[in-house]
A and B are shown apart, each in its own frame.
Chain A
């Protein structure tokens, strides 16, 4: 426990060192302040975009996409993983799907998706689902396969239906795998959304955080660009450490089943 606290402290010290190096370079280094602004300038740009609500509404826009996309992809992969567990035919079918589509980066699908669905929110939604569903399915399938045979037998012994065994036993028993899948899925969805927003520009009047930083470069608003990047980093840390970390602490870590 003691060393854990120390490690956390070290993290902050390193962040402070990095910021100090940044600030020194910006002030005294051979850099152009327009493309390498000082921390104070970035901070005020960040503050301003927060006050005007500009950055918050863009984030809200992007996060809305991610959450709905992530949720849809999780449900779809749960359905696919479940039918694969009970049918060998479907198992090989989903294996094939994963091996074909998993290596295909979402961003590579963009031209095709634009051709088929245009550049609207539907297209972004489809890219998110594509980015999340395959790693999620892969994880859920190996999670379901890791469920001990005994657990399944106990479910049968109490005459639970297949759906009952699935919800009461398979899903909680393979939660470590599910959470790993959500972690990867989240990271991929976040990347996919930012890339797609940059390519698509503003859809429906708003562009999301990807469009926001892209636009800042177009107008040479470098402090605003950095403000956007800081927010992206902040959200990444918030989601991975706080949201997913909290879920892990109250489930798999508490149960002692985390991998």
Chain B
């Protein structure tokens, strides 16, 4: 069995305080993992370590068997911040941005971009600048941009965390569909238990830098009982 992501005894501390403390986790190809936990539990640090955006103190992070030393194209990060689309580019140019260095024709780039723009339900907004888009649309755009290179892994840092309840639900549903279509491996940080139960194959609960529990979530149904069960594990 080969794993997409292998994390072994990973440690990262800031000023003597362990943000990520001896974490080990294996993620299969195509798996959807949600990392939940209270603020300051180290979930965002863990995500940044997997992405290679920060250097680890000790332990190992491997993507496709290769040790992660710096950010790589295989693992694309999507942020919570609405301002992650480049303000000087239209939505379409933003989605094309990851393709600029590719040696394919301009039409082909546009075609690929438009596939993901449609997938994220942004048809008709290709020539809009980010300032003309709503928060939810910007996040849809950011996901389209992240998907356009067909990366092995998406690293998502509370991408829907700043959205209103209704927009959030719409995005969760479209993202779930897209994930089913693309089969990308996803590691998704959230503090919303319902969101985790709706999306994840497995829910990893973190507390004080350590993984305190892992829930299997085959049903993907955020029933009240399940929500309480996971919430209790977080509060423990």
A positions within 8 Å CB-CB of B: 148, 150-151, 153-154, 156-159, 168-169, 172-173, 175, 251, 254-257
| B72 interface residue (CB < 8 Å to A) | yes
- Please give, as numbers and ranges, the residues of chain A lying within 8 Å of B53 by CB-CB distance: 153, 156
Docked-complex contact A251 and B88, CB < 8 angstroms: yes
Q: Of the candidates B77, B84, B87, which one forms a contact with A256 in the assembled complex, judged by CB atoms under 8 Å apart?
A: B87
Q: How near does chain A come to B235, taking the closest CB pair, in angstroms?
A: 31
Q: How near does chain B come to A57, taking the closest CB pair, in angstroms?
A: 39
Docked-complex contact B71 and A157, CB < 8 angstroms: yes
Docked-complex contact A257 and B73, CB < 8 angstroms: no
| B38 interface residue (CB < 8 Å to A) | no
Distance, CA A144 to CA B131, complexed state (A): 20
Q: Of the candidates B71, B86, B129, which one forms a contact with A153 in the assembled complex, judged by CB atoms under 8 Å apart?
A: B71
Q: List 6 A-B contacts (CB under 8 A).
A: A157-B73, A168-B100, A172-B88, A175-B88, A256-B132, A257-B87
- Please give, as numbers and ranges, the residues of chain A lying within 8 Å of B81 by CB-CB distance: 148, 150
| B76 interface residue (CB < 8 Å to A) | yes
Distance, CA A200 to CA B5, complexed state (A): 71
The prevalent SS among residues of A at the interface is helix
Distance, CA A255 to CA B83, complexed state (A): 13
Q: Of the candidates A159, A254, A257, which one forms a contact with B71 in the assembled complex, judged by CB atoms under 8 Å apart?
A: A159
Q: How near does chain A come to B152, taking the closest CB pair, in angstroms?
A: 13
Distance, CA A173 to CA B94, complexed state (A): 13
Docked-complex contact B131 and A173, CB < 8 angstroms: no
Q: Give the residue among A148, A169, A255 with the most B Cβ atoms within 10 A.
A: A255
| B51 interface residue (CB < 8 Å to A) | yes
Docked-complex contact A156 and B70, CB < 8 angstroms: yes
| B125 interface residue (CB < 8 Å to A) | no
Distance, CA A215 to CA B97, complexed state (A): 56
Q: Restricting to B36-64, which residues have a CB under 8 Å from any CB of A?
A: 51, 53
- Please give, as numbers and ranges, the residues of chain A lying within 8 Å of B84 by CB-CB distance: 150-151, 154
Can you name the residue of chain A whose Cβ is closest to the Cβ of B142?
A154
Distance, CA A126 to CA B84, complexed state (A): 41
Docked-complex contact B87 and A255, CB < 8 angstroms: yes
Distance, CA A156 to CA B73, complexed state (A): 9
The prevalent SS among residues of B at the interface is loop
- Please give, as numbers and ranges, the residues of chain B lying within 8 Å of A255 by CB-CB distance: 87-88, 129, 131
Besides A150-B84, A153-B77, A256-B131, 17 other CB < 8 A contacts?
A148-B81, A150-B81, A151-B84, A151-B86, A157-B71, A157-B72, A157-B73, A158-B98, A159-B71, A169-B86, A175-B88, A251-B88, A254-B129, A255-B87, A255-B88, A256-B87, A256-B129
Q: Of the candidates A158, A168, A173, which one forms a contact with B87 in the assembled complex, judged by CB atoms under 8 Å apart?
A: A173
Distance, CA A154 to CA B97, complexed state (A): 10
Distance, CA A172 to CA B130, complexed state (A): 15
- Please give, as numbers and ranges, the residues of chain B lying within 8 Å of A257 by CB-CB distance: 87-88, 131
| B179 interface residue (CB < 8 Å to A) | no
Distance, CA A254 to CA B87, complexed state (A): 10
Q: How near does chain B come to A259, taking the closest CB pair, in angstroms?
A: 12
| B175 interface residue (CB < 8 Å to A) | no
Docked-complex contact A158 and B83, CB < 8 angstroms: no
Docked-complex contact B73 and A159, CB < 8 angstroms: yes
Q: How near does chain B come to A163, taking the closest CB pair, in angstroms?
A: 13
Q: Give the residue among B72, B75, B79, B87 with the most A Cβ atoms within 10 A.
A: B87
Distance, CA A26 to CA B98, complexed state (A): 66
Distance, CA A169 to CA B86, complexed state (A): 8
Docked-complex contact B77 and A157, CB < 8 angstroms: yes
- Please give, as numbers and ranges, the residues of chain B lying within 8 Å of A172 by CB-CB distance: 86, 88
Q: Of the candidates A150, A156, A168, A175, which one forms a contact with B79 in the assembled complex, judged by CB atoms under 8 Å apart?
A: A150
Q: How near does chain B come to A202, taking the closest CB pair, in angstroms?
A: 45
Can you name the residue of chain B whose Cβ is closest to the Cβ of A157?
B71
- Please give, as numbers and ranges, the residues of chain A lying within 8 Å of B97 by CB-CB distance: 158, 168
Distance, CA A151 to CA B70, complexed state (A): 16
List the 8 shortest-distance A-B pairs measured between CB atoms, nearest first: A256-B131, A156-B71, A172-B88, A157-B71, A255-B88, A257-B87, A150-B84, A255-B87
- Please give, as numbers and ranges, the residues of chain A lying within 8 Å of B131 by CB-CB distance: 255-257
Docked-complex contact B51 and A157, CB < 8 angstroms: yes
